[in-house]
Amino acid sequence: MPASLLCQRCGEAFEAKRSDALWCPKCQIIKAKERQSLYETHKRDKCPKCGTSIVRRAKLCHLCDNKSRSQKYAGEHNPNWRNGWTRTRGYKYIRVKKPGEKGHPYQAEHRLVWQGEHGPLPKGWVVHHLNGIKDDNRPENLLALPKSEHHRHPYKAIQAYQERIRQLEAQLRESQLNPEIT
């Protein structure tokens, strides 16, 4: 139920939906314009980059400032920079492209290690970690397989596991026979 109140600015009676209203609708508009004109007096110059007006003590407008910050804190200048690597789903990724270059800037470290040892990875192939630890990127722990055979563990993959197990067992026997090696 609307309440009949007196405007504190002009003294006229007005109907208001809220009981704590202070001004009539005409005076609310005048008050808003006064507030806006106060804000306008704080405006200073134009943004040196785009020419829009900027507020007091600002060097750039809001949009230009955001753009400059994104460039200022890119790459090594970002406080979250980890020397060009990141980790996603357990895999370690290395930055191989500079900002602004086309293509994805990060590549999987295990793919880079395998390619460094064996040359380019054939199309449709994946690099598998023999011991199942996704960030163990030693060359002897990596095996390239066709995508279709990666999760089926074909005979080739089983052979690689068996060979790796034999090597580890031989190393273990050697260290048990010669304790001063470890």
Burial class from Cβ neighbours inside 10 Å (0-12, 13-18, 19+) for residue 105 reads middle
Tokens 């009981």 locate to 19
Q: What is the pLDDT of residues 101-146, one digit of tens each?
A: 888 888 999 999 999 999 999 999 999 887 777 888 989 888 898 8
| Residue of higher predicted confidence among 154 and 33 | 33
Residue 6 main-chain phi, psi, to 5 deg: -105, 135
Predicted TM-score (pTM) of this structure:
0.47
Q: State the span(s) of the chain assigned CATH 3.90.75.
A: 81-181
CATH topology for the 81-181 domain: Homing Intron 3 (I-Ppo) Encoded Endonuclease; Chain A (3.90.75)
**Among residues of the chain, what percentage have pLDDT more than 90?**
25
Residue 109 contacts by C-beta under 8 Å, 6 or more apart in sequence? 85, 91, 92, 93, 94, 135, 137
Examine the pLDDT at 181 and tell me if it is beyond 70: no
For residue range 63-84, what is the model confidence (pLDDT) as tens digits?
A: 999 888 877 877 777 777 778 8
